[in-house]
Structure 1
Amino acid sequence: MADSREGWKNEEEDEEEELDETNYIAQKDAVLFAIDVSDRMLQPPPESNSKRAETDSPAMAAIKCAYQIMQQRIISSPKDMMGVLLFGTEESKFQEEDSNARGSIAYPHCYLLSDLNIPAAEDVKVLKSIVEDPEKAEKLLSPTKEPVSMSNLLFCANQIFTTRAPNFGSRRLFIITDKDDPHGSDKTARSQATVRAKDLYDLGVVIELFPISQEDHEFDRTKFYDDIIYRDPAEENDHALGPTSLKSNGDGISLLASLVSDINSKQVAKRTLFSNLPFEIGPGFKISVKGYNLLQKQMPARSCYVWLDGETPQIVTGQSARHEEHSTRVVEKAEIKKAYKFGGSQIMFSPEEQKELKNFGLPGLRIIGFKPQAMLPFWASVKKSTFIYPSEDDFVGSTRVFAALWQKLLKDKKMGLAWYIARVNATPLLVAILPSQERFDEGTNVQVIPAGLWLYPIPFVDDIRSPPEVPAPLVAPDELTDGMRKVVQQLQLPKAMYDPRKYPNPSLQWHYQILQSLALDDDLPEMADDKTVPKFRQIEKRAAEYINNWGKILAELSDSVKHKTEHDEDDPPKKKIKMKAETLEEMSVADLRKVIDAGTLSKYTATDLKSWLVSKNLPATGKKIDLIDRVEQWVEDN
């Protein structure tokens, strides 16, 4: 094992530093909802005797879906853009930037409800007012009697994306409609829509269709939308076809829940942790890969301070300055120098020398060998893994080579050992390259784990510590084990599997609820919705009898153990013989090496270490850690 390089890392630079702003902007997501407001889309679902029957029309369900997605985006992706465009409305509204177009309606029957932008509190309030005010919604959602031109809608979307998000790497148009053939036999209108759709495709905008099927009509894509939705021929799986079973039937299967679920399943691809990293499989044999951080713990993060004592909350602009210790003079940045403590003194380096100290070579991934996967212990996980996938940008044929390596590792149950530097100035790591098979959720058939390779960081030698000594575990008798087994069997989750996606972090959700209430001027919530709280009534109903029986068995065994202990206390105590621990001076070189390998040398006092050093004619001054280093160095030399 190589020595750890963690000590060279600059404390002010996080290992997983943010990507530079230019790359980050290019990878942001811009989503525009296009919601059809026709007579059928405004009709409520058929009446139903179900307690969970829905009452929202498909158009209102789509607006509520956009409202919920906007709330989620503000939290999960605060730099992404989102907008809502209604088409088929009697009223028209579009903010045209061209001064020559003032006073004219460039896009008839298109109502821009929320402009494509980073969602703000006002945008959320607009959607919220429509969701909660039926009269306002009825006035706004007034369908036109004239036929709606799809080419006009697509041209309007083109204009919005061009002016609002020209440099975004991901731009998508979500069309929610129940009309599978909006133009019928009008070949001219169909041709114009096809041309506008091709323009969006050339612009890099992906059209996503969310069809709504009615009770008396099943949506048919082949009539119109297969001609305007373009796909990349290189894509093996067409993930963008959209759902096929969105129905407004009123029988308790909520259209709103289905829309939210399907739109969430189409979230933009994970942003790359690194792009086109050289992957050296052998001498002179390289391919390029991209890395993704698929697993990330969510925590409340404060990006700014907010002043709440005014009429409206305002973001505080902060300023910082450094002052001398015994005066108020501001210290300039040029006066500050950085130093490292070594041997009781401070060693200063220039910024160029500091960068050179942390330079371990160019970023890359280099395989240094292969081992069986069985040799990787379970405790070797020290950091989260990174998922890698091939890229053809730098080396043509990378996908084929990557697939061959993945298949070989998977077939032979092997793993690669590699030297890994993610980015410039990143801390080098030793990683195990592990293959993963593609897995899908049984219920929704949504991909859970992709097929590819994972970079699994493994510890350096000084990362490994000996576990503390613990007493022998207390083993429960068979009566208690059998009784608890019955309790656990009654409390098993459906399919005997815990799905963390169904149990959001209550403290995190409470944090978001407070932020939302402050931003929208709502009343602060009284309590958080904690789905992790056990359902005590169901537990009592299903397992109360078994829990009570287990408690009786525990009480009986406890009484018997207590009686036995009291009986043993009546016997005269046995005399304990105290063994004297072996001192360092009495140990041989082999014994000292065992103590060092076990990591227990630090348990000896500084006096013991100094006495041993004096016996070997070695310096016995300094801190305890210096004394330990001298002992270890002497043992290594001898």
Structure 2
Amino acid sequence: MLKRPPPSDNKKADRDSPTSAALKCAYQLMQQRIISNPNDMMGILLFGTKETKFDETSASDMAYPHCYLLADLDVPAAGDVKRLRNLVEDEAESEELLVPSKEGVNMSNLLFCANQVFTTNAPNFSSRRLFLVTDNDNPHADDRSLRSAAAVRAKDLYDLGVIIELFPISKPGYGFDRAKFYDDIIYRTSLSDPDSPAPISSAAKNSSSGDGITLLQSLLSSINSKAAPRRALFNLPLEIGPEVRIGVKGYIMIKRQEKVRSCYVWLGGEKAQIATGSTTQMAEDTARTVEKTEIRKAYKFGGEAVSFTPDQIKDMRNCFGEPVIRIIGFKPMSMLPIWANLRTPTFIYPSETDYVGSTRVFSALQQKLLKDKKMGIAWFIARKNAAPVIAALIPGAEQLGDNDEQLMPPGIWIVPLPFADDIRQNPETTLVQTTDTLTDLMRSVIQQLQLPKAIYDPVRYPNPSLQWFYRILQAIALEEDLPERPEDKTIPKYKQIDKRAGQYVIEWGEELENEYRHWASKSRKSSSALTKRSADTAAAHATSLAKRVKTESGAPPASTSDRGMTDAEMMEQNERGNISKLTMPVLKEWLGARRLPTSGKKADLVDRIQKYFDK
């Protein structure tokens, strides 16, 4: 694994050996996990090395020959990251340590050593996994006894709850064959396994031809896909009918990544230290410390505070029953509008823990919904003390990658639907309809700005704010120089945009100016004609309007509501400043005849009419 790929002039060709790529991958993974999951434990065990090391006290311990424990299983500290970084960046140190043994690799000793590390440092952890990176698909080709011993050690690990994840590396011109040895060592995830939604990693290829798919990138992609264990959000019964229940587990597959603050750090001393905080609740009048037993929750109702005991609040929250997913009917998928979604959907998968046979029933339900293009409507309570919601059960088909690698397993998505009180009216907007010529020109602009393959890949555009935050945090923790500016991959490539679509944008802008001039001249002509007509009718109408005003005891000229005011009459009142003297029925009738909103106070109606004439 220490052999480097042949030199190449291509900038995208591999420069790292498989061992170096694996260590760099471990270094980047440790950098990510130490910030995003600071409580997770990590360890690095090298096998097949000339030197042997299991613990710090005994460097010549030969209980596990040719196994070198580079980093013991523990929460990574800044020192561990620095040491791994030096090993990755210093070629002399890596060549001194990474000397292969002349003897063959004994997989039984490796798995037994890993077993010892897990039982010593993490005996009670619910999620324990061993990431095995190798390019040797048949380490014991001629020794059946060693193959059997390795299979026994692997079975011991699985009995302890340790899941082995294989990350194979294909050699140039030779593929990695799992069937030769690792099918007896690596157990395929079963449907009853809580980690089953994780896809199976395909072999990473050593790109010596410079095709852009480098070994390091392939390893990072494979390991990142399984870096975070699939912890179930809930384990609930899915009630399909009366007394017909199966078991399912829910997972959050899509989640907004945010800055996670796990602790406070004090930077006032020579070294950064973790600050320990404490909170004390005190009475406002006497400054006396208040105990938890003296605190009661209260809600304001009718201007008064109504308090409840903890037992009363618990009873109110549990009045809707136990957590469950209960199907109450089925509807066509076409009836679900795109806006009917309140929160991030939850992915559910069958579980055989509580109900045997759940997998078959769940699979039949999912395939039937897909075939008939139907969705289920369910009563959904995610956990205790949670508010019930009406949710749509939308089937999800299996998604495969280019190499038949599973990107998304088949399952069902739970989409919370809004109640009637959650739906709000859209705000009032004034739309201006474009012309066919402008539409055709804009179509050319959009076609020139299409992404490659018309697919947006969010992996290629990391959040610049998060990356800058983590970069500063890493520099402080590892005592590195602070970076000067963040790397923002979301900044548009202006030169390329101008080269591809600049001329089309200019043509569209020129056409827009021409259309505006045409519209402005047409509006001026219609306005002058309207003014001329209003002058002719104003004299004839002035007498009758004055008589009506006199007969109504000095009331403002609002009696035109009997027949409705024309645009010319309303424009005349606007020019004289008499619109505010008209009555509300006249204003509302005039606005309603022109399909304008009639809600609001009188000042709102007057303002709406004035804006109409301004346009």
Matched, 1:318 2:277: yes
AA partner of residue 426 (structure 2): P
1:201-244 C-alpha deviation (Å, 9 max, x unpaired): 32232333333333465544444333433446768999876433
Output the CA distance in 2 between the equivalents of 1:358 and 1:234.
34
1:379-405 C-alpha deviation (Å, 9 max, x unpaired): 221122222222222222222222232
Residue pair 1:194, 1:228 contacting (<8 A) in 2 also = yes
Output the CA distance in 2 between the equivalents of 1:266 and 1:322.
43
Counterpart secondary structure, 1:379:
coil
Q: Per-residue deviation at 1:151?
A: 1.7
List alignment gaps of at least 5 residues for structure 1: 1-40, 587-599, 606-638
Output the CA distance in 1 between the equivalents of 2:429 and 2:258.
33
Counterpart secondary structure, 2:339:
helix
User: Which residue of 93, 118, 123 maps to 1:136?
Assistant: 93
Higher relative CO (CA 8 A, sep ≥ 6), structure 1 or 2? 1
Aligned to 1:28: none
AA partner of residue 247 (structure 1): N
Matched, 1:494 2:440: no
Structure 2 CA distance for partners of 1:581 and 1:367, relative to 1, 3 Å:
farther
Aligned to 1:194: 151
Structure 2 CA distance for partners of 1:474 and 1:55, relative to 1, 3 Å:
same
Aligned to 1:550: 508
Output the CA distance in 2 between the equivalents of 1:227 and 1:285.
38
Matched, 1:424 2:374: no
Counterpart secondary structure, 1:155:
helix
Structure 2 CA distance for partners of 1:194 and 1:293, relative to 1, 3 Å:
closer
Residue pair 1:45, 1:57 contacting (<8 A) in 2 also = yes
User: Which residue of 488, 500, 514 maps to 1:530?
Assistant: 488
Q: How does 1:461-500 map to 2 (within 5 A)?
A: 461-471=420-430, 473-500=431-458
User: Which residue of 78, 82, 86 maps to 1:125?
Assistant: 82
Output the CA distance in 2 between the equivalents of 1:357 and 1:159.
50
User: Which residue of 290, 296, 299 maps to 1:340?
Assistant: 299
Residue pair 1:55, 1:250 contacting (<8 A) in 2 also = no
Output the CA distance in 1 between the equivalents of 2:364 and 2:136.
45
Structure 2 CA distance for partners of 1:515 and 1:102, relative to 1, 3 Å:
closer
Output the CA distance in 2 between the equivalents of 1:548 and 1:420.
53
Counterpart secondary structure, 1:211:
strand
AA partner of residue 550 (structure 1): W
AA partner of residue 530 (structure 1): D
Counterpart secondary structure, 2:250:
strand
Q: How does 1:30-41 map to 2 (within 5 A)?
A: 41=1
User: Which residue of 86, 111, 130 maps to 1:154?
Assistant: 111
Q: Per-residue deviation at 1:549?
A: 1.8
Output the CA distance in 1 between the equivalents of 2:358 and 2:11.
55
Comparing 254-263 with 71-80, which one deviates more in the overlay?
Answer: 71-80
- Which of these two proteins has the greater Rg computed from alpha carbons? 2
Output the CA distance in 2 between the equivalents of 1:211 and 1:419.
44
Q: Per-residue deviation at 1:425?
A: 0.7
Structure 2 CA distance for partners of 1:241 and 1:118, relative to 1, 3 Å:
same
AA partner of residue 309 (structure 2): S
Q: Per-residue deviation at 1:114?
A: 1.3
User: What is the TM-score of this pair, normalised by structure 2?
Assistant: 0.81
Q: Per-residue deviation at 1:159?
A: 0.6
Aligned to 2:410: 451
Q: Provide the identity percentage.
A: 55
Aligned to 2:128: 171
AA partner of residue 518 (structure 2): S
Structure 2 CA distance for partners of 1:377 and 1:401, relative to 1, 3 Å:
same
Comparing 198-207 with 381-390, which one deviates more in the overlay?
Answer: 198-207
Q: How does 1:356-395 map to 2 (within 5 A)?
A: 356-359=315-318, 360-395=320-355
Aligned to 2:593: none
1:106-134 C-alpha deviation (Å, 9 max, x unpaired): 22221111112222322211111111222
Aligned to 2:48: 88
Aligned to 1:354: 313
AA partner of residue 365 (structure 2): L
Structure 2 CA distance for partners of 1:171 and 1:239, relative to 1, 3 Å:
same
AA partner of residue 511 (structure 1): F
Q: How does 1:263-282 map to 2 (within 5 A)?
A: 263-267=223-227, 269-275=229-235, 277-282=236-241
Aligned residues: 544
Residue pair 1:212, 1:248 contacting (<8 A) in 2 also = no
Aligned to 1:308: 267
1:283-332 C-alpha deviation (Å, 9 max, x unpaired): 22222221112121111232221111212211111111223334433333
Output the CA distance in 1 between the equivalents of 2:179 and 2:329.
52
Q: Per-residue deviation at 1:555?
A: 2.8
Structure 2 CA distance for partners of 1:66 and 1:329, relative to 1, 3 Å:
same
1:420-454 C-alpha deviation (Å, 9 max, x unpaired): 1111111111112222222234x464444432222
Residue pair 1:487, 1:543 contacting (<8 A) in 2 also = yes
Residue pair 1:365, 1:420 contacting (<8 A) in 2 also = yes
Output the CA distance in 1 between the equivalents of 2:135 and 2:397.
38
1:79-105 C-alpha deviation (Å, 9 max, x unpaired): 3322111122222221279xxx89744
Matched, 1:65 2:22: no
Aligned to 1:412: 372
Aligned to 1:180: 137
AA partner of residue 453 (structure 1): I
Q: Per-residue deviation at 1:373?
A: 2.6
Aligned to 1:52: 12
Structure 2 CA distance for partners of 1:179 and 1:415, relative to 1, 3 Å:
closer
Q: Per-residue deviation at 1:484?
A: 1.3
Structure 2 CA distance for partners of 1:214 and 1:437, relative to 1, 3 Å:
closer
Output the CA distance in 2 between the equivalents of 1:233 and 1:418.
27
AA partner of residue 492 (structure 1): Q
Q: Per-residue deviation at 1:248?
A: 5.4
Structure 2 CA distance for partners of 1:239 and 1:54, relative to 1, 3 Å:
same
Q: Per-residue deviation at 1:489?
A: 0.8
Counterpart secondary structure, 1:212:
strand
Comparing 491-500 with 213-222, which one deviates more in the overlay?
Answer: 213-222
Aligned to 1:634: none
Q: Per-residue deviation at 1:569?
A: 6.3
User: Which residue of 33, 39, 43 maps to 2:3?
Assistant: 43
Residue pair 2:199, 2:406 contacting (<8 A) in 1 also = no
Residue pair 1:58, 1:248 contacting (<8 A) in 2 also = no
Structure 2 CA distance for partners of 1:440 and 1:212, relative to 1, 3 Å:
closer
Output the CA distance in 2 between the equivalents of 1:197 and 1:329.
60
Output the CA distance in 1 between the equivalents of 2:471 and 2:153.
41
Aligned to 1:636: none
Output the CA distance in 1 between the equivalents of 2:11 and 2:43.
33
Counterpart secondary structure, 2:394:
strand
1:556-599 C-alpha deviation (Å, 9 max, x unpaired): 3334344445556666484427574469xx9xxxxxxxxxxxxx
Output the CA distance in 2 between the equivalents of 1:516 and 1:224.
40
AA partner of residue 291 (structure 1): G
Output the CA distance in 1 between the equivalents of 2:251 and 2:7.
47
Q: Per-residue deviation at 1:157?
A: 0.9
Counterpart secondary structure, 2:7:
coil
1:486-521 C-alpha deviation (Å, 9 max, x unpaired): 111111111212222322211122121121111111
AA partner of residue 258 (structure 2): M
User: Which residue of 164, 184, 189 maps to 1:207?
Assistant: 164
CA-atom RMSD in angstroms:
3.1
Output the CA distance in 2 between the equivalents of 1:218 and 1:286.
45
Output the CA distance in 1 between the equivalents of 2:146 and 2:364.
48
Residue pair 2:395, 2:412 contacting (<8 A) in 1 also = yes
Aligned to 2:202: 243
Counterpart secondary structure, 2:63:
coil
Aligned to 1:507: 465
User: What is the TM-score of this pair, normalised by structure 1?
Assistant: 0.78
Residue pair 1:367, 1:418 contacting (<8 A) in 2 also = yes
Output the CA distance in 2 between the equivalents of 1:241 and 1:385.
24
